[in-house]
A and B are shown apart, each in its own frame.
Chain A
């Protein structure tokens, strides 16, 4: 069924190229080769970036710095894993910042903190992840039940999350005082902070979901063409709700990690993370139209964005032009990874 939806997307010329390997014409060979190259474009970008930065400042490849990069990538990676599933489905999820705020708020208010007397330890983590997962569940139901486009549905859930967390925190920043939970960011195992290991575990789970479960297949199928997927027996409503819920769970883990890193939560703890996540997903080569790309792409995308941020500081690039460089980088990465000839319409 995935095969059908994928083929449906190919224009006749490229289908010939794939479907007739025994009579390879030079032109056809070029097309396939070019596509293969493009699939790896984000990796080339990442490698080139690393080499350039390392030449300019050898400190970049010091183990200590690589650990710092891993640490800086932990929260965006976990977050972007969630966003990937929704984008793969051809939808968009804007609720990340609200969900992160809810998770971080739930965590600090239930674990030992400087605002109330609760001290539920690891139960607080579970509650935080579940609360955020519920937000995703809500997004999925709003989208499918009320038939509201995911853009608006998740925008609404974003505000709801932000509003509820502002209300719960009473406008102030509440600090996380549980040493075990702070340990998620401060304790190291094999040199790496636990938060990095957790992000890697999240990556592993995401890979498993995408490549080894039926749900993963169905998500890609819906992104490739929902009508075809439905004809093949996929229940889009159920898959959508599941994908949004999974995204919410990932945001929850990211929220927990963010609160552990900063040692506090305020309602703006998620500020700026949404676009970082979407940027990473797109730069990694996942198409906003859905059906193409995946969590491995996102890993590369997150690393590109993080390495770039780290590298610009190492190179001493003026903060006044860093944003410009980031913008150019995004356009360059997307331009090199998309086969624009295949796009019939650009909107």
Chain B
């Protein structure tokens, strides 16, 4: 869903902060204070934005699956888009656990990563961050407690779905694109991926690029207007996330065009995976939130249990792009069987198996 990138503004911030309310704080309060003992398993903590989007809901199931596999206590705190609440909850848990804790965090906002990392460092808790951190904040500066930062390459994802779309429409023709909220990194990178790939395919014409703010509802209305403007010239629809892609698909369906005009998106939400199976989506891409939720904790857990020494790891294990999976017609049935119908089983000890390279300096 990439909900973290699609906060519609201050109104939503207030709403979510109020909504999230006491839930996380209460979770923190309810925990008994624990003393640190040698060989004792650390408290596992997942800090995410919200449970109201499928992406983070899957993240949490991955975290729980890992916690179960090692038999450690696990707590999820939800920031609900409120940075201060997110940080305060983490601090509360640090003091409850006496610092014997592992944190896997998707910071609500880029600047949040710093206070989160600093308070973990001070308390002696191991921390892994994902998606958001300031570019001058580096794990090596907080040895050994700040172990890794994980991101996924938006340019590569944007480019991969463009390739899939071009293949689906037979290599030539017009397409329209629906972008995410203008100012977000993910929206900018994915569009860059689209532009780069299109530059290499002169037979593909980008008829129009519109912004649907990550939302199915806006994509629905925009797509029907685009159909008026370009009609049959539209051979395919590119969407920067699956939610917009499914909105576009429903607008096509209302015109009897579902399955005739292929759609691509990013995130791998269930509706998109189903649409790939039905041949209505040409492809979607997943960063695998189940893996993100479990592996972020696993990396921290192994460091806390002294299974490896973070300071001895190469830089590309400390800040890296994780591997994504493109789900298209040829592998969708397999993916559905292992990731949708059942919970995937991963080897949580394979800490660096999905490292694809160091993060680009921006």
Contacts and interface: CB of A to CB of B under 8 A. Distances in A.
Nearest to B207: A316
Interface string B201-225: 0000000111101011110111011
B225 A313 contact: yes
Interface in A47-61: 57, 59-60
B210 A313 contact: yes
Given A158-B15, A272-B215, A171 B56 contact: yes
Interface string B221-233: 1101111110100
Nearest to A156: B18
A269 B217 contact: yes
A166 B51 contact: yes
Contact of A159 (B15, B179, B209, B225): B15
A171 B182 contact: no
Interface in B1-35: 3, 8, 11-12, 15, 18-19
Interface string A300-328: 00000000011001101001101000000
Interface string B29-68: 0000000000000000000001111101100000000000
A173 B269 contact: yes
Interface stretch (A17-25, A82-90, A217-225, A258-266): A258-266
B254 A171 contact: no
Contacts of B270: 114, 172-173, 175
B253 interface: yes
A314 B52 contact: no
Interface in B158-215: 179, 182, 208-211, 213, 215
B130 to A, nearest CB: 18
Binding site of B, secondary structure by majority: helix, strand, loop or mixed? helix
B246 interface: yes
B26 to A, nearest CB: 14
A271 B228 contact: no
A171 B51 contact: yes
B206 to A, nearest CB: 12
Given A171-B51, A172-B57, A319-B210, A162 B15 contact: yes
A262 B225 contact: no
B229 A175 contact: no
B224 A71 contact: yes
A193 interface: yes
Contacts of A272: 8, 213, 215, 217-218
B interface, size bucket: 35 or more
A263 B246 CA distance: 9
A313 B246 contact: no
A322 B222 CA distance: 12
Contacts of A319: 179, 182, 209-211
Contact of B224 (A72, A262, A271): A72
Contact of A68 (B56, B224, B269): B224
A258 B228 contact: no
B220 A262 contact: yes
A68 B228 contact: yes
A170 interface: yes
B250 interface: yes
A170 B270 CA distance: 14
Contacts of A313: 208, 210, 222, 225-226, 228-229
B216 A262 contact: yes
Contacts of A128: none
B214 to A, nearest CB: 10
Nearest to A276: B217
A135 to B, nearest CB: 15
A144 to B, nearest CB: 23
A127 B250 CA distance: 24
A110 B70 CA distance: 38
- Among A60, A173, A175, chain B packs the most CB atoms within 10 A around the CB of A173
A191 interface: no
Nearest to B212: A319
A186 interface: yes
Interface string A31-66: 000000000000000000000000001011010110
Nearest to B54: A172
B258 to A, nearest CB: 10
B228 A65 contact: yes
B305 interface: no
Interface in A92-144: 114
B224 A62 contact: no
10 contacts: A57-B229, A59-B229, A68-B225, A159-B18, A166-B51, A262-B247, A268-B3, A313-B208, A320-B182, A320-B211
Given A162-B15, A266-B54, A310-B228, 19 more contacts: A59-B228, A64-B228, A65-B228, A166-B51, A171-B51, A171-B53, A172-B57, A172-B270, A173-B269, A175-B270, A175-B274, A263-B253, A271-B217, A272-B215, A275-B11, A309-B221, A310-B221, A313-B208, A320-B211
Give the top 6 A-B pairs by smallest Cβ distance, nearest first.
Answer: A171-B57, A313-B225, A319-B211, A166-B52, A171-B51, A65-B228
